[in-house]
């Protein structure tokens, strides 16, 4: 449900055509299978003005847009719910108020009613605005651009905290960073965000209890995680400098700059892998961390 106070011409709501970090047209609006509007509890006329715009007729008071959305995409780009977990990436479910995308946004994440979900928690870097840590409730964003850049994971997930080798890190553009990791049978992928990243890996890429050394599978997972983390600087900060605002996400063309950015990152990653000394230092640190985890039973 989305609320707004329409003007004399009514209010238009729009959904992005693509998501930051995934450089293909996604047409999320095709998954909005039913859209209705209400004002003071009474129905208000709403029409689809274009493929991703809904125009609500003028009314007195606040108007609510109520949407039924098809969500069953196990990737990191859209949304997926079942009895074991729930996930959504903002651009696939959050519309914006046309001409008002700079307004602050409030979101209430409501716990599922099913008994199977009684022990679910929430993992997101979206700022809390009344919700308990890792809890359902109210969250907030400074504007629409921030709202859609904090994906939400829900479920009875395992939570681990770690420091980057114990080394202090300065000048990072966030207070803390969240890695949302889903272990699946065969799927794989990642999508960077301003204070988090959504990752899907194969189960055999996770570190195995009692295993010695650093497996190639685990190294691949670390490469995926570090790639998405590095994009915070290589793409996200460039994104701000280029003024690529959410209102541009209705366009079908986004130029060569965004296409080139991940390729530059891949080149840097390959350069790092070519440094045998750096790889040896990294593996030694990983082995020490694994040994500490085995000894304490807790991840570092």
Task: Supply the CATH number for residue 259's domain.
Answer: 2.60.40.3650
pLDDT of residue 139: 98
Most confident option among 66-75, 129-138, 267-276, 289-298? 129-138
- For residue 179, count CB atoms less than 10 angstroms from its CB and return exposed for 0-12, middle for 13-18, buried for 19 or more: middle
Taking residues 226-231, report their average pLDDT: 88
Of 174, 221, 211, the closest CA to residue 193 belongs to: 174
Of 110, 108, 135, 112, the closest CA to residue 124 belongs to: 135
- Using the predicted structure, report yes or no on whether residue 246 has a pLDDT greater than 60: no
Phi/psi of residue 163, each to 5°? Answer: -110, 155
Token pair 């939400």 in the structure block, residue: 152
pLDDT of residue 61: 87
pLDDT of residue 25: 86
Taking CA atoms, 41 is separated from 110, 121, 186, in Å, by: 21, 32, 46
Give residue 235's pLDDT band: very low, low, confident or very high (50, 70, 90): low
CA dist 97 and 75 (Å) reads 27
Q: Which domain holds residue 290?
A: 2-296
Taking residues 51-68, report their average pLDDT: 92
Any idea what DSSP says for residue 150? S
pLDDT of residue 200: 95
Number of domains forming the structure of the chain: 1
How far separated are the first and last CA of the chain, in Å rounded?
A: 40
Across the chain, what does the average pLDDT equal? 81
């Amino acid at each position: 449900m989305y609320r707004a106070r329409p003007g004399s011409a009514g209010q238009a709501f729009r959904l992005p055509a693509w998501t930051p970090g995934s450089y293909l047209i996604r047409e999320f609006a095709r998954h909005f299978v039913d859209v209705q509007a209400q004002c003071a509890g009474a129905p208000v006329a709403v029409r689809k003005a274009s493929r991703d715009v809904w125009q609500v007729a003028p009314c007195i008071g606040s108007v609510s847009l109520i949407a039924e959305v098809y969500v069953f995409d196990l990737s990191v780009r859209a949304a997926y719910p079942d009895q074991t977990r729930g996930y959504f990436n903002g651009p696939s479910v959050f519309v914006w108020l046309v001409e008002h995308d700079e307004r602050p946004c409030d979101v209430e994440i409501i716990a599922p009613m099913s008994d199977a979900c009684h022990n679910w928690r929430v993992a997101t870097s979206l700022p809390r605005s009344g919700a308990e840590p890792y809890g359902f409730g109210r969250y907030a964003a400074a504007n629409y651009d921030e709202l859609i850049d904090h994906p939400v994971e829900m479920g009875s997930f395992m939570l681990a905290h770690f420091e980057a080798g114990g080394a202090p890190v300065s000048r990072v553009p966030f207070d803390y960073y969240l890695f949302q990791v889903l272990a699946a049978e065969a799927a794989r992928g990642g999508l960077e965000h301003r204070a988090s990243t959504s990752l899907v890996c194969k189960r055999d890429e996770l570190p195995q209890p009692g295993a010695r050394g650093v497996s190639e599978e685990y190294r691949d997972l670390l490469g995926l995680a570090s790639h998405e983390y590095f994009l915070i600087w290589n793409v996200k900060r460039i994104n701000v400098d280029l003024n690529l605002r959410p209102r541009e996400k209705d366009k079908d063309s986004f130029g060569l700059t965004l296409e080139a950015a991940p390729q530059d990152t891949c080149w840097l990653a390959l350069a790092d892998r070519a440094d045998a000394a750096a790889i040896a230092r990294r593996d030694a640190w990983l082995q020490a961390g694994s040994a500490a985890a085995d000894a304490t039973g807790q991840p570092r």
